Structure 1
Amino acid sequence: MLKHWPPLNALRGFEAAARLGSFHQAAEELHLTQSAISQQIRSLETFLEQPLFYRSGRSVSLTDAGHDLLSTTQSMLQQLSVGIRRLEQYRKPNQLVVNTTPAFSRHWLLPRLGDFHRQYPEVDLWLFTSFEPPEMTTQTIDLAIRDDLSAQAECSYKVLHSDQLYPACHPDVLAQPPAQRTTLHGEREMDWSHWLVQGGVDVGQRSHGLNFSDPGLLLDAACSGLGVALVSSLLAQQAVEEGRLQPLVEQRVRGPNWACLIHRDSESCSLTRSFSEWLQGALQA
């Protein structure tokens, strides 16, 4: 990474002049004098130690280096512009930022989100999903609900639900002979080794098959009839009710704990309390 960067104003002046093909038009667009644009580009050329424009009277054209830099500069300025506009969401008066896993968001929260919105229409919810737990002290997150959380500094930590796991598949797969069923493998608690360690009965699972790092995709695969998977009782609830998934046995084993982290700066916020109370009630329903 560069230790020193050219001034952003010089890059903006260069981009405008290169795009418009004129120092004069660039000056008008940026509300500067033409001499200011010329000075910005000279300072940029000095910094880069090479010319960016061919100058012939009042007309200018890009050198090869100028063309190269224009592409980079336009991409950088566009990305910066999008990032700055995205920051507007943090200024919304009723913004509540909730972090969770893609699997929990898709299979449990999304089907119930309409109920929350009907009860609390004033909450401007931003659902931020990630595969890794957030760092609450450095990220702008009010509340996190996940199955991979541990206590963090400056946050309250509470276990909301102790999950259970069981083997399940689509009804069409259940009708197949056990030897013909594909075994679907997940990670962490969704790995079949966890089922065996917890004393789960043999349901014909095999060591080979299809493998998934995302428990949400693992559940999708089971619901689609791709094979037999070890699934979360919490996340599979709707699929079972809709008939897309059927347990192989009645036995259940211990699953992960779904816990909540709330940053101390958000604990007294009415928006956070509303979501937290709704969440606990929905998990107990």
Structure 2
Amino acid sequence: MLKHWPPLNALRGFEAAARLGSFHKAAEALNLTQSAISQQIRSLESYLEQPLFHRTGRSVSLTDAGHDLLSTAQVMLQQLAVGIRRLDQYRKPNQLVVNTTPAFARHWLLPRLADFHARCPEVDLWLFTSFDAPDMSSQTIDLAIRDDLGPQAECSFSVLHQDRLYPACHPALPETGRTTLHGEREMDWSHWQLEGGEAVGQQGKGLNFSDPGLLLDAAGEGLGIALVSQLLAQRLVDEGRLQALSAQRVRGPAWSCLVHRDSQDDPLARQFLAWLRAALGSD
């Protein structure tokens, strides 16, 4: 990392002059005087301690160093412009930023988003997924729905749904020689055993997954048997891609919600939570 950076205006002036092949045209493009462009480029050359342009009379051409810097400057300025334009989404009047896990987003929320949008078309929803629970005090998030949440300062906390777990596999998977798929936390087979779950042929070795959504996908693709979330697996069951290996169910994670204090009275957040609670209650 550089200790000191060249001025951004100097890089903009250099890029325009290099792209247009003229200090005069660069000045017109940036609504500056030609003298200002010349000064910016001289300061940049002084910072870099090498010339960027060959100057012959009133014409200019890039040195080898100038050609090298041009490609870097164009990429950097383009990325900066895109990043700044992306910030416009934070000024949308009806935006609601919702954080959740990739597994919940993919297997439960995404199939139901069309229903939510049809009911609440005025809500400009931004779905932000992360494997780790967010810090609501430092991130721009209105509410979070996850299975790894606890109370946080400046937020209201509530449990929305108590999940249940059961072993499952693809219906076409042979009964013998089944690979065991292992997850983490409650999706680990040790949790099933500690909760008194019956043996279904699970073994200590097999395939291991840190993402419960990927674990569920693997089971639905017929890779082996897995301990799955009753809530998240329902769509695969309805599609005939998963079947239970036991009638027994054990305690799973609690799906909870954090609402930032600035969003607690927001009608958009209230609409989303009302829809969410109704949808979870029907499952």
Partner of 2:99: 99
Partner of 1:129: 129
**Residue-by-residue CA offset, 1:170-196 (whole Å, 9 max, x unaligned):** 1001xx133x11111112211212222
Q: CA deviation at 1:64?
A: 2.7
Residue 264 (structure 1) aligned with residue 261 (structure 2): yes
SS at match of 2:231: coil
**Residue-by-residue CA offset, 1:25-53 (whole Å, 9 max, x unaligned):** 21121111111111001111112222222
Residue 216 (structure 1) aligned with residue 213 (structure 2): yes
SS at match of 2:227: strand
Q: CA deviation at 1:63?
A: 2.4
Mapped to 2, the partners of 1:70 and 1:214 lie a distance apart of 42
Mapped to 1, the partners of 2:111 and 2:195 lie a distance apart of 30
Q: Among the aligned pairs, what percent are the same residue?
A: 77
Mapped to 2, the partners of 1:83 and 1:235 lie a distance apart of 34
AA aligned opposite 1:165: L
SS at match of 2:139: coil
**Residue-by-residue CA offset, 1:202-241 (whole Å, 9 max, x unaligned):** 1111222222221111111111111111111110011112
AA aligned opposite 1:201: E
Mapped to 2, the partners of 1:215 and 1:55 lie a distance apart of 62
Residue 56 (structure 1) aligned with residue 56 (structure 2): yes
SS at match of 2:152: coil
Residue 177 (structure 1) aligned with residue 175 (structure 2): yes
Q: Specify every segment of 5 or more residues in structure 2 that has no aligned partner in the other structure, as ranges.
A: none
TM-score after normalising by structure 1: 0.95
TM-score after normalising by structure 2: 0.95
Partner of 2:166: 166
Partner of 1:142: 142
Residue 196 (structure 1) aligned with residue 193 (structure 2): yes
Q: Specify every segment of 5 or more residues in structure 1 that has no aligned partner in the other structure, as ranges.
A: none
Mapped to 1, the partners of 2:107 and 2:100 lie a distance apart of 12
RMSD: 1.3
Partner of 1:24: 24
Mapped to 2, the partners of 1:164 and 1:16 lie a distance apart of 61
SS at match of 2:216: helix
Q: CA deviation at 1:15?
A: 1.0
Task: Choose 84-93 or 18-27, whichever is displaced more.
Answer: 18-27
Alignment of 1:263-282 (within 5 A): 263-282=260-279
Task: Choose 53-62 or 149-158, whichever is displaced more.
Answer: 53-62
Task: Choose 56-65 or 132-141, whichever is displaced more.
Answer: 56-65
Mapped to 2, the partners of 1:22 and 1:271 lie a distance apart of 52
